[in-house]
Amino acid sequence: MDVISLSALDLGIAAMFVCVLSLLSLLLSLGLEWKILIFSCRMTVQLLLIGVVLRFLFADSSLVMVALMSMIMLLAAGREVLARQNIRLKGVAGYVIGTGAMFISSFSVSFLALVVIIGVEPWYTPQYAIPLLGMLLGNTMTGVSLALDRMTDQFHKERFVVEQRLLLGQTWQEASSDIRRDSMRTGMVPIINSMAAAGLVSLPGMMTGQILGGTPPIEAVKYQILIMFLIASGTGFGVISAIWMAGYRLFDKRHRLCLEYLTSYNR
């Protein structure tokens, strides 16, 4: 079965729904109308550009070009993690922590999946490497940003409780254990909900795309199960890494809470 091509008119009709949503936001005084329109336009431009870039990458399967594309994706994801936090770490620390956590989790899981599970030759084949890394980075980015935002907000609100525990002789790990656990749970909730609803409530995007492209449903389901396992593990590893690194940043060697490393940011 051939894939049905979409025209500019088809996409324009779909865009009208977004315009209606923006109008409703204006009428209901939600204050989201400009964000809806601007980010919709931004998303369209970004996807069109990535389509052109991927066509070039697929024609020239170079490890250097795939690595360059991967690093651009990682750096952009790190910027989005930082931008989504209401209270964040000052300086480059917040950016480095978010980016480092995603690099540790997403890149390692993607590499192992390409080499050990999928077994594609060469392992950096862009048709496999870029989409897989993109899905892992996108979901890990959401988890890490939610976890860090929750953590910094809780430290700011409950700083006196943490400091009292420190005065009673607890280490920074003990004094902040509740906040860190809560932050980790917050970061993992989206992917846990996605796994709970997959197949019963929703058909995940990759599986839907493969089916629309003519892939047999069972084969599409197997790939989707693989992707969900990889996303869950990548998100979990990224969230845990980010929270641990942020914890070390917020406390000094004498186990004192250093809130001067936090700064507020109005989104």
Choice between 204 and 21, residue whose per-residue pLDDT is larger? 21
Q: Residue 231 half-sphere exposure, CB side, CA atoms within 13 Å?
A: 28
What pLDDT, on a 0 to 100 scale, did the predictor assign at position 223?
84
Q: How confident is the model over 84-104, as a mean pLDDT? A: 86
Mean pLDDT of the chain: 85
Whole-number percent of the chain with pLDDT over 90? 32
Would you place residue 102 in the very low, low, confident or very high pLDDT band (cuts 50, 70, 90)? very high
Residue 263 forms beta bridges with which residues?
88
Q: How confident is the model over 18-35, as a mean pLDDT? A: 90
What pLDDT, on a 0 to 100 scale, did the predictor assign at position 6?
77
Q: How confident is the model over 33-55, as a mean pLDDT? A: 89
d(CA 137, CA 107): 8
d(CA 129, CA 3): 23
d(CA 2, CA 8): 19
What pLDDT, on a 0 to 100 scale, did the predictor assign at position 126?
86
pLDDT reading at 164 higher than 60: yes
Q: List the alpha helices (DSSP H) in the chain.
A: 8-27, 33-59, 63-83, 93-102, 108-112, 126-157, 159-167, 172-175, 177-197, 205-212, 217-250
Tokens linked to 109: 């899981």
pLDDT reading at 235 higher than 60: yes
d(CA 206, CA 176): 38
What pLDDT, on a 0 to 100 scale, did the predictor assign at position 123?
87
Place of tokens 């910094």: 152
- With the C-alpha atoms ordered 191, 196, 202, 208, is the resulting torsion angle positive or negative? positive
The predicted model scores a pTM of 0.81
What are the CB-based long-range contacts (under 8 Å, 24+) for 64-67? 65/126, 66/124, 66/126, 66/129, 66/130, 67/124
d(CA 95, CA 7): 39
What pLDDT, on a 0 to 100 scale, did the predictor assign at position 2?
60
d(CA 223, CA 50): 23
d(CA 115, CA 126): 13
Choice between 266 and 63, residue whose per-residue pLDDT is larger? 63
What pLDDT, on a 0 to 100 scale, did the predictor assign at position 38?
93
pLDDT reading at 146 higher than 90: yes
pLDDT in tens, 182-191: 999 999 998 8
- Backbone dihedral angles phi then psi of residue 89, each to the nearest 5 degrees: -70, 140
Tokens linked to 236: 């979990």
Q: Are the CB atoms for 155 and 162 separated by under 8 Å? A: yes
Place of tokens 């909900």: 193
What pLDDT, on a 0 to 100 scale, did the predictor assign at position 267?
47
